């Protein structure tokens, strides 16, 4: 009887641990959201847009960048469809964290503009060694566009690295 009890206890422990891991994983996903880069995205502008995971120092703090917009002398743009056709938006908020790397060379400012369905939503300006954040309600938005524009037409602007670009899902209705 003790051998059967030990086996049953072992199996029960495995099942409980597995269930807890699944619940913990779902909670972590709900807290972190979904990467904007999982949406259908296209780039435009004369600058560079590149998905690249890279460690970068901004304001003497290390971040893990997921992609960058390199406006160069002009601008770079990333536009993503975040709402499926003929469906309700599954997302409530987009959270963006970005900045320009520490550098001995001072880059001109870069304006980060967020467009929601083609209309300007938010704007932030960053420069070398500076970070910025934007959080925008996207519950009624189909497309989001992030544009990095160099403030100078004669000086080269450095890249703007994005260490956070998450779409937060709507909370399920309470029962």
The per-residue b/e assignment along 4-21, b for 16 or more CB within 10 angstroms, e otherwise, is eeeeeeeeeeeeeeeeee
Please check the confidence at residue 8 and state whether its pLDDT lies above 60.
no
Q: pLDDT tier at 171 (50, 70, 90 boundaries)?
A: low
Q: DSSP label at 13? A: H
Q: Where are the domains of the chain?
A: 1-32, 36-169
The predicted model scores a pTM of 0.78
- pLDDT on residue 6: 57
In the prediction, which pLDDT does 21 show? 41
Q: What pLDDT score does 2 carry?
A: 62
Strand ranges inside 25-88, DSSP E: 34-35, 40-45, 48-58, 61-70, 75-81
Question: What is the model's pLDDT at position 26?
Answer: 40
Q: List the CATH code of the domain at 36-169.
A: 2.60.120.1060
Name the DSSP class of 157: B
Percent pLDDT > 70 in the chain is 78
- 135-145 pLDDT, tens digit each: 999 999 999 99
CA distance 44 to 77: 5
Q: In Å, how far are 21, 38, 90 from 83, measured between CA atoms?
A: 30, 12, 7
Backbone dihedral region for residue 33 (phi beyond 0: left; psi -120 to 50: alpha; all else: beta): left
Q: 30 or 108: whose pLDDT is higher?
A: 108
């Amino acid at each position: 009887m003790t051998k059967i009890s030990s086996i049953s206890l072992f199996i029960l422990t495995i099942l409980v641990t597995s269930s807890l891991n699944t619940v913990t994983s779902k909670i972590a996903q709900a807290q972190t959201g979904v990467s904007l880069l999982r949406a259908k995205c296209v780039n435009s502008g004369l600058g560079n847009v590149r998905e690249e995971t890279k460690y970068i120092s901004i304001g003497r703090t290390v971040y893990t960048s997921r992609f960058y917009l390199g406006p160069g002398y002009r601008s770079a743009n990333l536009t993503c469809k975040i709402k499926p056709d003929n469906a309700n938006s599954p997302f409530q908020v987009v959270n963006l964290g970005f900045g320009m790397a520490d550098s001995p060379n001072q880059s001109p400012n870069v304006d980060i503009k967020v467009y929601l369905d083609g209309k300007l939503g938010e704007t932030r300006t960053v420069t070398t060694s500076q970070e910025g954040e934007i959080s925008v309600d996207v519950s009624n938005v189909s497309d989001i566009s992030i544009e990095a524009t160099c403030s100078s037409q004669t000086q080269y602007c450095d890249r703007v690295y994005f260490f956070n670009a998450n779409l937060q899902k709507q909370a399920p209705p309470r029962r």
